[in-house]
Structure 1
């Protein structure tokens, strides 16, 4: 049990070390650790956690750490994984703030931030494409055999995007409506 707790802490410390800014850009790194490296969750379970985290308060990495930790080692596992996920980010954020505040007028620092911004968009797009593929065809790869297209998911996705972009509806309303529709369709 102690080994599991230490492994959870270290794994989420690694994730937290690279998740400054958090959000969707960190999804591929979390997936690599909890699904691919340690096999703590299946890809479907991981996708479900991403979905649930959108409806619960708190950062994605903290919600995932708490879920994985409690699943593997109970409350102490959740505490260890959660602390691991926030510790490095907390320390690095303070150091980066001091650095960027001190050197904010240097042109090359501005260029570094532009490069980081661009890579964040790529990470977010990668995570979004994985979630879309799982929702639409049940796999994270287009070359999977025996997969079928989920027409209902595509329709709900399209309507959600339309309602959010055109009418600026509250995302919680969209989540509630699609959840209710999903209850009847699936």
Structure 2
């Protein structure tokens, strides 16, 4: 029972402060990983892949995934509720007052500074994923050889996908399916 309370609390905090969408939850998830030991940074990368491949918002999918991993179906439900509750409450409060205060210079200043903060959180989360996926930091720390730092297969595949996405106009599901096939065929 205590684990469910902790799940709700951790994801409530995440939902309250992760301004900017699903990727903005990533720094909070790194923190949850370190403070609880429920999952590793490597597990988190796998969770991102699953969450991005399934319907729904990334943050909600991640909360559900972590909650289910930690405490089954009740954990998935509780973690998801913890994540979305702050948003529901905040939206209700803001909708009551926004029209009254939207021209207020203080409100404008807050929104003006929240945008770069959200961007920084997303970039930080993105770097965490890049670091885990594209680099072998532990291997490099042992050997000190620069060649051991890079995961060349992942870097090359990411670049190929980047250019495919940039120069073709396909649905994201195509790229996800392509990635799954390449992963199976090449034992990525």
Question: 1:83-122 counterparts in 2 under 5 A?
Answer: 83-122=81-120
Gapped regions of structure 1 (runs ≥ 5): none
Alignment deviations for residues 31-72 of structure 1 (CA, whole Å, 9 cap, x no partner) = 211x11101001111111011111111222221221222222
Check whether the contact 1:164–1:170 (CA below 8 A) recurs between aligned residues.
no
Aligned position for 2:28? 29
TM-score by length of 1: 0.88
Say what the alpha-carbon RMSD is for the aligned residues. Answer: 2.1
Aligned position for 1:61? 59
Question: 1:1-186 counterparts in 2 under 5 A?
Answer: 2-33=1-32, 35-139=33-137, 144-146=141-143, 148-185=149-186, 186=188
Superposition deviation, residue 89 in structure 1: 1.6
TM-score by length of 2: 0.87
Q: Which moved more, 1:99-108 or 1:120-129?
A: 99-108
Check whether the contact 1:30–1:61 (CA below 8 A) recurs between aligned residues.
no
2:111 and 2:156 map into 1 onto residues whose CA distance is: 37
2:87 and 2:110 map into 1 onto residues whose CA distance is: 19
Q: Moved runs in structure 1, 4+ residues, more than 4 A?
A: 141-144
Check whether the contact 1:12–1:82 (CA below 8 A) recurs between aligned residues.
yes
Q: Which moved more, 1:81-90 or 1:130-139?
A: 130-139
1:30 and 1:89 map into 2 onto residues whose CA distance is: 17
Superposition deviation, residue 20 in structure 1: 4.1
Check whether the contact 2:20–2:122 (CA below 8 A) recurs between aligned residues.
no
Decide which structure has greater helix share.
Answer: 2
